Structure 1
Amino acid sequence: MGADTGRRRIGYVNLPAQFEEERTEIMQAVEGVFQRGDFIGGAAVGKLEEELSAYLGSPHVVTLNSGTDALILALRALDIGPGDEVITPPNSFVASTAAIVAVGATPVFADVLPDQNIDPAAVEAAVTPRTKAIMPVHLTGRMADMGPLMAIADKHALAVIEDSAQAVGSTYDGRMSGTIGTFGCFSAHPLKNLNAAGDAGFLVTADAEMAARIRRLRNHGLINRSDVQEWGIVSRLDTLQAEVLRIRLRHLPPVIERRRRNATQYRAELAGLPLFIPPCRNIEFNTFHTFVVQTDRRNDFQKYLADKGIETAIHYPVPIHLQPAAAHLGQGRGAFPVTERQADQILTLPINQFLSAADISYICAIAREYFA
């Protein structure tokens, strides 16, 4: 017996519902910024940095215009540039590799594990005398295997820049995402679990001198109103976005809990189907920025779900090494077989915190119907 669609539509995200839940707080905060007129460098920016520091357990947080700027400025603070290599996975969003290219360094790709995170053995094999850093990407809200990665970094005296754009609040062996490596770089894009109302990001580090340098770099390299110590960029977080993020940081724990609840229900109701769902390790706390399944019938399955009113996504259909912009790196199809196979199999199901148990059951019923 097939599932009854009932003309149901389930969206991938539900930002209007989030606004309705927070409307009073958001509008009061926005009105306060306009009344004060402190649009740049307002007190809320410093308060957000303090609150993020307390939440993440990191002594230094620097807010920025985007997660991409966080990656770029981390690389610049480490003086990584032309002639240097940075190891990173080829299955990430393009920003991770683009940041390496932006500072003039060379991205060196390492293939991934079944859970889509970078393979430490592949990282070890990719190290050369020119390698200066490892940039693991904590994809889908699950942290990469940081124990072996840090051991490799220590062995070869490498910096580690955690791309934690999808993993705010995730932990590995009790340690928060972004706090294990030299830097942790976060995005607060509207689609993230901790989301601004536009572009936003931040960086964390335990190194006070590095944090001070990045604060200069985000503001033209100025040490005061008149003196430029080094050339920087403009990557200041707007006060409006800081106010929004302060509100949403307070709401983040229940957001994560709802997403984890949805993931648990998915696992139970999709059990037995020919779908690969990476298991969670005992040492990890996964915040499920996305819920990704893998199937050889991805395209047909996605269409079937769409026909039943279920919106899905693919993160990401074309690996970075196969993008036209990466042609100069000389790595064609076949270079990273796990990444390439997964790119044809991965499908992201809705997991946003506003889905009901009935919504998840409906999606799972349609999946069972399809595979039957």
Structure 2
Amino acid sequence: MPDIPFFNYPAIYKRYEAEFDAIFKDVCSRGAYILQRDLEEFETDLARFLNVRHALGVADGTNAMVIGLKAHDIGPGDEVIIASHTYIATAAAVHMVGATPVFADIGEDYMMSAADATKRVTPKTRAIMPTQLNGRCCNMDEIQALADAHGLL
């Protein structure tokens, strides 16, 4: 099996070390861990950047996925196609809203295979939720084409 290159976090930290350390010192010195001005600024800046009315910052990816699924009324009786190579939180989020996770196989790039995901679509399928891992993205053009062809989120 070939080596999978991971994101070089130490190099990014070193590049921005002074800025990151200043942020850590500021946040820690204020004890500003939950629901502080930092979150409000982040949400405002993100909404402006995305050119949307609202952005919601959450504590973790599981909550983000649950909120997204609920926002689209995905729940009991629905199926959501996810990659077989993912963190447990992806399937857990689908389960937490009462829907059924359906696993699509991965391709040679270790990302969701759109060809295999196509085989997993049923009348109960409401969404495709691919996982982007280790700084790599799946072929979103193929995934979006599949979603469009079947009227899926």
Q: Give the shorter-chain TM-score range.
A: 0.7 to 0.9
C-alpha spacing 1:89/1:39, structure 2 compared with 1 (3 Å): closer
Deviations 1:252-281 (A, max 9, x none): xxxxxxxxxxxxxxxxxxxxxxxxxxxxxx
- The answer (yes or no) to whether the contact 2:112–2:130 under 8 Å persists in 1 is yes
SS in 2 for 1:62: coil
Give me the whole-angstrom Cα distance separating, in 2, the residues matched to 1:58 and 1:127: 32
Give me the whole-angstrom Cα distance separating, in 2, the residues matched to 1:100 and 1:146: 20
Indicate yes or no: 2:118 matched with 1:134.
no
Q: TM-score, normalised by structure 2?
A: 0.79
SS in 2 for 1:64: coil
Indicate yes or no: 2:93 matched with 1:99.
yes
Q: Partner of 2:45 in structure 1?
A: 51
SS in 2 for 1:114: coil
Give me the whole-angstrom Cα distance separating, in 1, the residues matched to 2:58 and 2:66: 11
Q: Partner of 2:110 in structure 1?
A: 116
Q: How far 1:43 sits from its partner (Å)? A: 2.6
Deviations 1:28-78 (A, max 9, x none): 3433x35xxx765333212112333455x3524210111110011111111
Q: Partner of 2:24 in structure 1?
A: 26
SS in 2 for 1:61: coil
* Equivalent AA in structure 2 for residue 100 of structure 1: V
Indicate yes or no: 2:61 matched with 1:71.
no
Give me the whole-angstrom Cα distance separating, in 2, the residues matched to 1:13 and 1:43: 26
* Equivalent AA in structure 1 for residue 146 of structure 2: I
Give me the whole-angstrom Cα distance separating, in 2, the residues matched to 1:72 and 1:24: 33
* Equivalent AA in structure 1 for residue 145 of structure 2: A
Indicate yes or no: 2:86 matched with 1:88.
no
* Equivalent AA in structure 2 for residue 113 of structure 1: G
Q: Partner of 1:229 in structure 2?
A: none
Q: Which runs of 5+ in 2 are unaligned?
A: 1-7
SS in 1 for 2:56: strand
- Listed as ranges, the matches of 1:293-308 within 5 Å are none
- The answer (yes or no) to whether the contact 2:27–2:33 under 8 Å persists in 1 is no
Q: How many residues align?
A: 141
Q: TM-score, normalised by structure 1?
A: 0.35
Q: How far 1:132 sits from its partner (Å)? A: 0.7
Give me the whole-angstrom Cα distance separating, in 1, the residues matched to 2:48 and 2:136: 21
Q: Partner of 1:352 in structure 2?
A: none
C-alpha spacing 1:107/1:58, structure 2 compared with 1 (3 Å): farther
Match of 1:152 among 146, 150, 153: 146
- Listed as ranges, the matches of 1:169-248 within 5 Å are none
Q: How far 1:108 sits from its partner (Å)? A: 0.7
* Equivalent AA in structure 2 for residue 52 of structure 1: L
The structure showing larger relative contact order (alpha-carbon pairs under 8 Å, at least 6 residues apart) is 1
Q: Partner of 2:56 in structure 1?
A: 62
Give me the whole-angstrom Cα distance separating, in 1, the residues matched to 2:9 and 2:37: 31
More helix by share: 2
* Equivalent AA in structure 2 for residue 26 of structure 1: F
Give me the whole-angstrom Cα distance separating, in 1, the residues matched to 2:67 and 2:9: 30
- Listed as ranges, the matches of 1:246-285 within 5 Å are none
Residue identity over aligned pairs, in percent, reads 35
C-alpha spacing 1:25/1:149, structure 2 compared with 1 (3 Å): closer
